[in-house]
Structure 1
Amino acid sequence: MTGLVLALRGYPGDFDWQYTVVSALASQKHNPAGGVWYSAGLGVAMLWLWPYLGRLRSGRANGVAILESVALKAMRAGIVFGVLMGLESILVPELPEVLEKLHELLALSCFLCFYIGVLCVSVNRMQSEKRFVFPVALIVIPIIAIGVSQLTLYLGQRDLGWVDQSWRELGVPLWQSFAFWQWLALFFLWGALGMLGFLNRK
């Protein structure tokens, strides 16, 4: 949280989170004064998650535990990708052209690993405890919203380019902004992780 606050304070001008993607905060190109803080905060937060994931184990010794084990390994892989993403933003602010998609690849891998992990752990536990439907809802709702909003945007306005603050001036509805749903997806993902730990408490 500290890294996020410092990154926002260092961002040039007002940060319109509803129309500005998350990576803009970590970019030393778009956020020269605060990008390092966000990247460092991300890396530290990822490392702190490593021992926390141990709380998500159900302790069941049966076939169902295999899915849980795979899910936890996926989330640990997500941690590794998250740390690498933070280091990449700090150590290599300007990637060579051949590696310019590396940041996007790391970010996508990180998100996918966490989403798959949270979903698998929750669905696994839902078989015996219906309350685990709540973490599932937290991560599924924004993903569906992203799919619907971007599909309607593609079908109706293909010439807008990448999302930025100009979209607000053009009158693009908030619900069609990828940045808006990306921020909510991140918020809900952290919420789902916290909820899993709370529901799994002994």
Structure 2
Amino acid sequence: MAPVYSSYVCIFISTLFMLMVASSHVNTAAVTSTAILVTVDQSGNGDYEKIQDIINAVPSDNRELVFIRVKPGIYKEKIIMPADKLFITISGSKANGTIITWNDSGEIFESPTFTMLASDFVGRYLTIQDTLLDDTGRHYYKSCYIEGAVDFIFGNAASLFKMCHLHSLSEGDAAITAQRRQSPSEDT
């Protein structure tokens, strides 16, 4: 059902290009003006129906820019971005139209809705409900809506959240984030 992974190329967006150039993993493949474009649409009108399926299709130690356009809808899936899946952007068209949700509990590192372990990631125009494990690497989140109860953004990544709405469902005093920094000298 899905086309060959590398068959889609598009003009690269300058904002994303600047972020990747500033990354610690810059190489000649990442400093190009094109990206692989893949569309996720759960109704079957895209290249993939699930976000995790395209992430799994990206080769390990990827060095090409991959732009995953996610069509509006509620995606009930657990997303895990492994550490060897670099240079990936996941983008909806507007934050309240592309919702990633899961309902899990238990061990803190096993239960997140969205787990980010790769570096050089960009997330835009997404709603992530429940928990975001933002544990390693450098990430840029723009115009996202992230909702949860307690410590719903946690990890040890060096991340920038720009124009994001963080919504706490807690009825009492509760932390939104839980930084896992081990010492003041860490730059996370």
Q: Same fold (TM over 0.5)?
A: no
- TM (normalized to structure 1)? 0.22
Q: Normalized per residue, which structure has more helix?
A: 1
Instruction: Look at both structures and tell me which one has the larger radius of gyration over its CA atoms.
Output: 1
The structure carrying a bigger strand percent of its residues is: 2
Which structure ranks higher in relative contact order (CA pairs < 8 Å, sequence separation ≥ 6)?
A: 1
